[in-house]
Chains A and B, each alone.
Chain A
């Protein structure tokens, strides 16, 4: 009897040994840089972008004057890097970054804000829920602190999202997140006849053209290859190219959603999409193997590209989508009752500076929030995956065209309800009216205070 109890233990040992044997022979430790994450280790290591001298010299006029301690709450590990850079510049300041898991971060934040104790000086807000926080009393008015100056050269949509409903700046982001069609040049050449971004962009410049191109790809490949990943990608593309979901306290369904829905059904019926979920396993395989020609994704999702042994270097291109779009974004606000508001503002000032954003573009490939940083690096910036293609240019065109809208507390949740109803509708070939009816029921239930006709 005693002897048998060895079994589970030895089983555990075997499993541990499996693990150990797996790591033998690989000790090169490529990604050992401190505070690095998947996104920066896998993202294209770009050539050093040119720093904009004018901006950075004026920022560093009085570096040693600052002192004190700042606490930042975030869900995003690259904030460590910001803090390190800020402290390097201001040796008198100690910045403490406290990181909490992404999904539960907003619960944590709200719980703490409610009790009013143990709060940070600065906290991060994600695009998905910034709308719920933006009008709250917890965020300091940055406009009053002079932040209008910081964002005057910003990409319009990036600064717009950080504004409350009365137009005051409440939060600032240090980056933009433009989306585009990523493609393997080889696959594009085979099925579209070209790997030039502009020519591909022209083939899919509107939805009808996209469907026609998609049919051809499907037929030509004998049903093995699809043009795009998922009809559902159109939700992301249309999300910020439509009117807000709520107007004057009533649900407002932009008529464009109807056209979009019909296009989505057409895409599904004609096998234009591979029916793969965004960021799912199959989605990643299709992106890397080329069973889908054009994958719509944001600039920050480069970590999904399989770059083992540099095999993806120079292999990718990025083409414009029929309408420009962005996905996600991290915003940073100051807690209104923080005793260190001035110092916190200095930090916000730093991340809004071209000094930081230029550095960040070079290190992680994250697109800047300042239009001037785009402009200054437009000709010099090169990225690993994209070889000689100038990606700042198309991204710049995309982000500058996006409308500057402020986030409201309903937008993202109602969009996700629409995604749910319309997504099921596309799969089941449901009529638009039925989809709208079930959508309205969901909205009415989730937000009874809204007028739903």
Chain B
């Protein structure tokens, strides 16, 4: 019995390790690639660090203002994520805990907006932004955070699953206002869901390419992914510089992820005490 248990454990660890390996390989390869010269990147399978990182980096900063792009992206991703998660949590809570008329229909409508392929809307989107004189500003990207159907859906499902109606009811009996209930009781309870959505949204905003590319004109306002992609031009595939750019853009995601991922756990702990 005891040894069978250890065997199961060993098998499980082996499985975890194998999957982890498969997940790490490309990541490792990405880092390693950024330290090699273009001709090597294009022609060899690279396994060990090379010596070209400094050169690749210098070419990168010579052709684009990468750190400017970095801070632009930080601003957009942080603001966008905060707004998006907040509004999604509010709407998810609204759909989950209030029985208003047309609730079912309105929710289906929210889901329906996810089903329209966004790729073509970009021309219309640009036209509208242009009419409102919002091109070459960050407003279009921030306004987009208002209607995050995916986030609303996620939040609603979590509110359904892990926030008992009784908690809301008892808060009402205690004389709490609806906004107070949402901010003081529901938001903390939704900790894991919020952390999950924050991770997805942040990574989505961080890597967002098409919208800033189309909306922004000023090189100094441009975001990191657009800058990295523009290093690759028609007559020169500067993989080396591009990979340094990718590395610069991925490391903050890792740190953010590490922090938020912890939040998923501790958020529950906090909720459990109250519940």
Residues of A at under 8 Å CB distance from B?
1, 5, 8-9, 11-12, 15-16, 18-19, 21-23, 25-27, 29-42, 75-78, 80, 98-104, 107-108, 111-112, 114-115, 117-118, 126, 279-282, 284-285, 288, 300, 303-308, 328, 330
> How far apart sit A16 and B52, CA to CA, in the bound complex (Å)?
15
> How far apart sit A117 and B136, CA to CA, in the bound complex (Å)?
11
Residues of B at under 8 Å CB distance from A?
27-28, 31-32, 34-35, 37-40, 42-44, 49-55, 57-59, 62-64, 122-123, 126-127, 130, 135-136, 209-210, 213-214, 217-219, 226, 229-238, 240-241, 247, 251, 254-255, 257-258, 261-262, 265
Mostly helix, strand, loop or mixed at chain B's interface?
Answer: helix
> How far apart sit A306 and B136, CA to CA, in the bound complex (Å)?
40
> How far apart sit A305 and B39, CA to CA, in the bound complex (Å)?
6
Nearest residue (CB) in B for A80 is B63
> How far apart sit A34 and B38, CA to CA, in the bound complex (Å)?
18
Would B55 and A31 count as touching, CB distance under 8 A?
yes
Would A111 and B230 count as touching, CB distance under 8 A?
no
The one of B52, B230, B235 in contact with A26, judged by C-beta atoms closer than 8 angstroms, is B52
A-B complex: 6 closest residue pairs judged by Cβ atoms: A22-B49, A306-B39, A101-B229, A39-B236, A23-B53, A38-B238
Residue contacts A-B, CB under 8 angstroms, 16 given: A12-B254, A15-B31, A19-B49, A25-B51, A26-B54, A29-B55, A32-B58, A40-B236, A75-B230, A111-B126, A279-B237, A281-B42, A303-B238, A304-B39, A305-B39, A328-B235
Nearest residue (CB) in B for A10 is B258
Shortest distance between the CB of B37 and any CB in chain A (Å): 6
- Chain B residues contacting A15 (CB-CB under 8 Å) are 27-28, 31, 251
Would B42 and A284 count as touching, CB distance under 8 A?
yes
Would A102 and B53 count as touching, CB distance under 8 A?
no
| Contact A99:B230 (CB < 8 A) given known A8-B254, A77-B63, A118-B217 | yes
Would B43 and A22 count as touching, CB distance under 8 A?
no
The one of A5, A38, A111 in contact with B258, judged by C-beta atoms closer than 8 angstroms, is A5
Would B123 and A114 count as touching, CB distance under 8 A?
yes
Would A76 and B233 count as touching, CB distance under 8 A?
yes
Would B49 and A26 count as touching, CB distance under 8 A?
no
Nearest residue (CB) in A for B62 is A34
Nearest residue (CB) in B for A111 is B126
| Contact A37:B63 (CB < 8 A) given known A32-B58, A108-B213, A117-B130 | yes
- Chain B residues contacting A300 (CB-CB under 8 Å) are 235
Nearest residue (CB) in B for A37 is B236
Shortest distance between the CB of B268 and any CB in chain A (Å): 12
Shortest distance between the CB of A110 and any CB in chain B (Å): 8
- Chain B residues contacting A25 (CB-CB under 8 Å) are 51
Shortest distance between the CB of B80 and any CB in chain A (Å): 21
Would B234 and A75 count as touching, CB distance under 8 A?
yes
Would B240 and A285 count as touching, CB distance under 8 A?
no
Nearest residue (CB) in A for B31 is A15
- Chain A residues contacting B254 (CB-CB under 8 Å) are 8-9, 11-12
Would A19 and B34 count as touching, CB distance under 8 A?
yes
The one of B40, B127, B247 in contact with A115, judged by C-beta atoms closer than 8 angstroms, is B127
Would A12 and B43 count as touching, CB distance under 8 A?
no
Besides A5-B258, A102-B234, A111-B123, 14 other A-B contacts (C-beta < 8 A): A5-B261, A8-B258, A22-B53, A36-B59, A37-B236, A38-B238, A75-B234, A76-B235, A102-B229, A103-B229, A118-B130, A118-B217, A288-B39, A308-B40
> How far apart sit A304 and B261, CA to CA, in the bound complex (Å)?
42
Shortest distance between the CB of A337 and any CB in chain B (Å): 15
